Amino acid sequence: MSEYMDFFARLAQETSERKREFLQLGRIAGRFPVASTSEDGEISVWCSNDYLGMGQHPAVLAAMKRAVDEYGAGSGGSRNIGGTNHYHVALEKELAALHGKADAVLFTSGYSANEGALSVLAGRIDDCAVFSDRLNHASIIDGLRHSGAEKFIYRHNDCAHLEELLSGVDPDRPKLIVTESVHSMRGDIAPLAQIADIAKRYGAVTFLDEVHAVGMYGPEGAGIAAREGLAAEFTVVMGTLAKGFGTTGGYVAGPTVLMDAVRAFARSFIFTTALPPSVAAGALAAVRHLRGSATERERLAANARLTHGLLRERRIPFLSDQTHIVSAVVGEDRLCKAMSALLLERHGAYVQAVDAPSVPKGEEILRIAPSAVHDSAGIRRFVDALEAVWTDLGGPRG
């Protein structure tokens, strides 16, 4: 028994610095970004990934309720064994059309979409060389690791380094370039035109993660590549239903031959229960609404611009003004957590402190997400509160 106690003690010691506590939130339907907690009462949420408020949209809620009444709570099985509902198929067709691709495959999460698709696309082709941005998401890292393919990591958004690595590989080797369009923590945008040009010159297949862009950018919410007129230049597009579309799930879209391979070999697709039909129905309603409405995207952009401007006025440093992800730079773990706690305690404003492993140690941030459902008065009150906390705790100025 002592050997187990030693194991538990070592594990507890390793965990102690990274132990996480989770704030229990009740997002109040129809009133978001207002939420309730057992200890703090009603608060305002400033770090949700429901960027457009589609998780509260009447059309989405109605579609989910109808589907529950029609088909019950769960899907009943994996996609291959009794779990495929017509809402899954309709959603895949809608997502393929959104991105101008031949086909799409639906997963239960964005993480499983990246992990499953990349393990197949990089792993089933002999001697594939993969070129991945240094700051790509953990799901990309895990998918490439599980693929067994040789990886070349280029500096974040550094196309010169990407080309240098590509030039050092046998021209006849199959090549895959993987990047996020909007980086999840920094909020900056990849140089997609340069990456597409490099891929073309070196004969590389491209895999573009648009998780933090779908719904929010481009015509019909198709993402950054579509906004830049580059959608056709990227072979496979990956997205989520859990952010701009307000529900849950993930997907990849691309050529039929690649999507068929994903369906045939991706373990995270094959060996899991399919999304409940109600979730697929809600996501389908969200995608269709955002393809026909720019109102939410315009509100999101305006709120992001206002937040950037107010932070500049107060010299509170943040990483990028390119997107709606506003990462205020704190740079120290305890200070970041103290700021988050004080914002909640004094001002009823919830922003999660983001630390390792989500960001490197010493690069801790408050990841602020002004959404389409915040209003300008609320944004001003929030920045005033942040300024007060920043001053009281001696946050860095930029």
- Closest CA relative to residue 398, chosen from 376, 375, 365, 374: 365
Pairing of strands 326-329, 175-180: unpaired
Mention every residue, 6+ apart, whose C-beta is less than 8 A from residue 352.
23, 47, 340, 366, 367
- Closest CA relative to residue 195, chosen from 181, 182, 185: 181
Distance between start and end Cα atoms, the chain: 54
The amino acid sitting at 276 is P
Mention every residue, 6+ apart, whose C-beta is less than 8 A from residue 222.
98, 99, 100, 214, 231
Mention every residue, 6+ apart, whose C-beta is less than 8 A from residue 356.
18, 333, 364
Task: State how far the Cα of 320 lies from the Cα of 311, in Å rounded to an integer.
Answer: 12
Contact 372, 300 (CB under 8 A): yes
Catalytic residue annotation: 243
Task: State how far the Cα of 371 lies from the Cα of 322, in Å rounded to an integer.
Answer: 15
Contact 396, 313 (CB under 8 A): no
Task: State how far the Cα of 124 lies from the Cα of 147, in Å rounded to an integer.
Answer: 8
Q: Which pairs with CB-CB distance under 8 Å and at least 24 residues apart come from 24-29?
A: 25/350, 27/55, 27/56, 29/56, 29/61
